[in-house]
Structure 1
């Protein structure tokens, strides 16, 4: 493909994306196809290419009907996956440049732009000064949790863990509300299922109990076990619960345990000063992660990760084959992000984040966040005024958890009917043994009319 052909087809592709975004509300939010339908309609591989026009036609005919439309303004499931159009353009630029950012030397600008952005965002979010110089873009919060665990294992073993493997006495502490990525990280680190300790939560708030954590750690120490890491969460997946980070941090500090704070969804809210109290104690954490691809308008994948112990992280993950040696790295004057992550190679993810921040500015992002929280407050008020419904947990920023007082069967029937209609999409969790509908407000295009339409549909389905 020549640059001129790329120019012509690129216009077609950009027009296609723009048209899709303009008409996204015409599609059912949740894909309505049955299993196997998409694959049955896909063409066989051609011996000779048939061009992008044919590909775009197949997208319209076969692929789009098989999509769940995450950018639809009535997408209220899981957590948002903002892929704003400035971010799409930034991703296009990154892909077009096609650079490999594994070392400073392989693309100095890729590394230094990322360093600059992470330091600037740390300041804008009120994160501790110790995080400056310790920021990196990971792919997801799952990877952030894994590298935090590996660094914690490296520190607690005095560097010997990498040489001799695990002993079987390491312990990692989470709550029942902690994201499953922590359990997966424990498994991937080779610690075994026994290493994961589930700490009780406080009834009503569903936040981790600091007292229960202290008791569990004390008992494990008495048994000769080795506490390695505690994961506290700000904005749990189920209900948006906020763990008492400061108290947890004090317990960790008393025993030399690594504290990782997972704020994958809620972390973006730290840009707004009025919500900083939710982040009390984060300045005491050893590492902290927040997904820009959830609520910060940036296309997947882009997880912001900071640590005050970059030296420990690098020491835990660094392997230097001869073919990667270079003068810049050996000068110790640069950062090589290959040593901060699981894979060797890395994309220029910072470019799409930079595109977002250059387009919206910090105040534009704050307006985006505040608008969604205001919509959640509206929905919260409507629920409180209808005695057929109840809040299943306190509203957390833009996440509202509700259920029908008639019981689980009625709640599930309403949720299933909403999703089957294609007019909106919601997901569920279980709180105190009862089914709960989660309404996560966060799509870029969501306005009051979309939230009101969901509520009216739920009301019409209530018994």
Structure 2
């Protein structure tokens, strides 16, 4: 295939994409294939001769598509959304076509300068103060790793990268059990170690980290000879939407001079709506905040927004400048590769530019408000049914429930069978989690084209399949 062939096949791809999104409701949400079915259709050795693009596209339809779970399906209510608005997809096509490696200002000035401005647009939309500076990371996992590395270096007086951890005081990081497992990975990769991630008990309806328990744990660690390094709080935890009291956490952090990172990967996008900002009140005092526009806001993966109060601390931790990466003859520029763990960078800011201009903050706010309102309506409908329990109340567009008919035994098994039957049915897609040790069903809305009717379909499917699920 040559560039002269691209207009023909590019039009085919655009038409295919439009038709795909128009017909998603006709497809089962989750892939219905069995393990190994796709691999069995793929040759075990690569071809030596070129093959016609027509054949490749035909195989894409017959081999690949049956094995795809449709994350853009309006009735995808599992995990968290991973959106792809048409405007952002169009931008991604241009990003792919230009295929720039935007690691330095000089390797594409437009990418660097647009990233600076788009992150400031987003900062303003979120209501964060001017003291925050933004960088686009590939994922919240990378942003959290960067934050953990920074808190490690700061606690060790910037000696960890140079001297390593042996011989240093043992570091401690504090978080509740509601934080995402990306925090565990960051602790592993940073060399701090899982044993030194101190889990703080939670309290209240939002399952917030107990600030008194946090303060006590830090004081005990200091007494025992450990070196507290930082705190990781969450707004909208993955399992149940747990939200820490950020202001109370910051009171403790400031008392002990600890670096604080706030993981708002999912819920952070909702903060473009002022009425939801009470969920992260006090965030302006944090050192680091991450949210993922590629989840709920409408840009497709990968685009994670990382805001920091001190870029100098971040670059002191991550920047390295061999001669071949230096930009000579220019002053006052930013090289965002010095703000990230990866050196390579895509032109991700273009997706944010297209998204915000094409829909406006008001259009995005209305989408988010709809998802929250419709989800809360569904929770109340299930609460009113005698055989269902709401196990955690809605936080924005996320709640958990379980099927608990009178006389049923082994509710964990019953709910696992129910969710398996729902997902095998294909009309909607849900996932499970645990609260207080019990297996429960998790619902979250957020797909870009989701409507109230889609959520009401979830209501009907849940009740219909529950009615045929054996209670024994």
TM category (shorter chain) comes to over 0.9
Cα deviation, 1:180-229, whole Å, max 9, x if unaligned, reads: 00110010011122221111111543221111111111100111211111
Counterpart in the other structure of 2:192: 191
The reply on whether 1:10 has 2:6 as its aligned counterpart is: no
Counterpart in the other structure of 1:52: 53
Q: 2:445 aligns with which of 430, 441, 455?
A: 441
CA distance in 1 between partners of 2:111 and 2:12 (Å): 29
Counterpart in the other structure of 2:414: 410
Counterpart in the other structure of 2:181: 180
Provide the aligned length of Structure 1 versus Structure 2.
459
Counterpart in the other structure of 1:384: 383
Contact 2:319 2:338 in 1 (8 A): yes
Equivalent residues in 2 for 1:232-381 (5 A)? 232-328=233-329, 331=331, 333-381=332-380
CA distance in 2 between partners of 1:235 and 1:97 (Å): 36
Counterpart in the other structure of 1:138: 137
Cα deviation, 1:1-32, whole Å, max 9, x if unaligned, reads: 44331111111111111121111122211111
State the Cα distance separating 1:139 from its structure 2 match.
0.4
Q: Name the stretch that deviates more: 181-190 or 148-157.
A: 148-157
TM-score, normalised via structure 1 length: 0.97
Q: Name the stretch that deviates more: 287-296 or 120-129.
A: 120-129
Contact 1:105 1:328 in 2 (8 A): no
Counterpart in the other structure of 2:392: 393
Counterpart in the other structure of 2:457: 453
Runs of 4+ more than 6 Å apart: none
TM-score, normalised via structure 2 length: 0.95
Gaps of 5+ in 1: none
Contact 2:95 2:347 in 1 (8 A): yes
Cα deviation, 1:154-187, whole Å, max 9, x if unaligned, reads: 2122211221112251011111111000110010
CA distance in 1 between partners of 2:100 and 2:163 (Å): 36
Contact 1:168 1:191 in 2 (8 A): no
Q: 2:202 is paired with a residue of what secondary structure?
A: coil
CA distance in 2 between partners of 1:212 and 1:328 (Å): 53
Q: 1:130 is paired with a residue of what secondary structure?
A: coil
Q: 1:432 aligns with which of 436, 452, 457?
A: 436
Gaps of 5+ in 2: 406-410
Cα deviation, 1:362-402, whole Å, max 9, x if unaligned, reads: 11111110110111121022012112111111211011211
Q: 2:20 is paired with a residue of what secondary structure?
A: helix
CA distance in 2 between partners of 1:362 and 1:68 (Å): 29
The reply on whether 1:41 has 2:41 as its aligned counterpart is: yes
Counterpart in the other structure of 1:22: 22
CA distance in 2 between partners of 1:328 and 1:199 (Å): 50
State the Cα distance separating 1:239 from its structure 2 match.
0.6
Q: 1:221 is paired with a residue of what secondary structure?
A: helix
CA distance in 1 between partners of 2:215 and 2:59 (Å): 57
State the Cα distance separating 1:405 from its structure 2 match.
2.1
CA distance in 1 between partners of 2:232 and 2:194 (Å): 16
Q: 2:440 is paired with a residue of what secondary structure?
A: strand
Cα deviation, 1:317-370, whole Å, max 9, x if unaligned, reads: 1111111122156x3x01100100111111101111211111111111111101
Contact 2:88 2:351 in 1 (8 A): yes
Contact 2:102 2:111 in 1 (8 A): yes
Contact 2:427 2:461 in 1 (8 A): no
CA distance in 2 between partners of 1:302 and 1:258 (Å): 24
Contact 1:102 1:344 in 2 (8 A): yes
CA distance in 2 between partners of 1:205 and 1:149 (Å): 25
What is the root-mean-square deviation in Å for CA atoms of aligned residues?
Answer: 1.3
Change (3 A) 1:429 1:328: farther
